[in-house]
Amino acid sequence: MVIAAVALGLGWGLWQLYGPRLASPASPDLAIQVDRVDHILIEKSARRLTASRAGQKVLQYDIALGFDPIGDKSREGDGKTPEGLFTVDRRNPNSSYHLSLGITYPQPEDIRRAAEAGIDPGGDIFIHGQPNALGNLLQLPGDWTAGCIAISNAEMEQLWRLVDLGTKVEIRP
């Protein structure tokens, strides 16, 4: 009986140290209850996503960006996360990453600039969770996407429930 209790306690302790982690909830000062957000602010230099409703912060998460995040996206494969004003234009529940919200990049000015330079502006920029291959066990560290904005799977599930098509997305340097 004592051995079983010790084994159970040891197992619980190891689970607490090494088991899967759920995302920490939004800070208490942001814990207002809403059913939708109308604006998502991405601050690249702070590695932060803030979702708000009518100007009031609802959620705030740490983010990962493209593998070369400084500067605005200009071409396919540059590893940069675009900067500017966008909207959510698609929702993909079957993404290769845990859920994804597509944004309206490239914009007409991005397409024009790329055409003048004879390059592909890139596309398929999303806010998404972690790669499905990782399950819910790991979260990749650092900036690792091809230009997207990544958050934890638990955070993505929460954001997914609050975002409709047409939600404004502002990405700042």
Longest Cα–Cα distance of the chain, Å, equals 76
CA atoms within 13 A on the CB side of 161: 10
User: Which is catalytic among the residues 59, 110, 128, 155?
Assistant: 128
Q: Which 8-state DSSP code applies to residue 166?
A: T
User: CA gyration radius for the chain?
Assistant: 19
d(CA 165, CA 122): 21
Phi, psi of 117 (to 5 degrees): -90, -5
Q: Choose among 32, 29, 52: nearest CA to 40.
A: 52
CA dihedral angle for residue 143, residue 146, residue 148, residue 149, rounded to 10 degrees: -10
User: Which is catalytic among the residues 148, 149, 156, 159?
Assistant: 148
**Catalytic residue status for 98:** no
Beta carbons of 77 and 122 less than 8 angstroms apart: yes
**Catalytic residue status for 119:** no
Beta carbons of 44 and 83 less than 8 angstroms apart: yes
Q: Where in the sequence numbering do the catalytic residues fall?
A: 128, 148
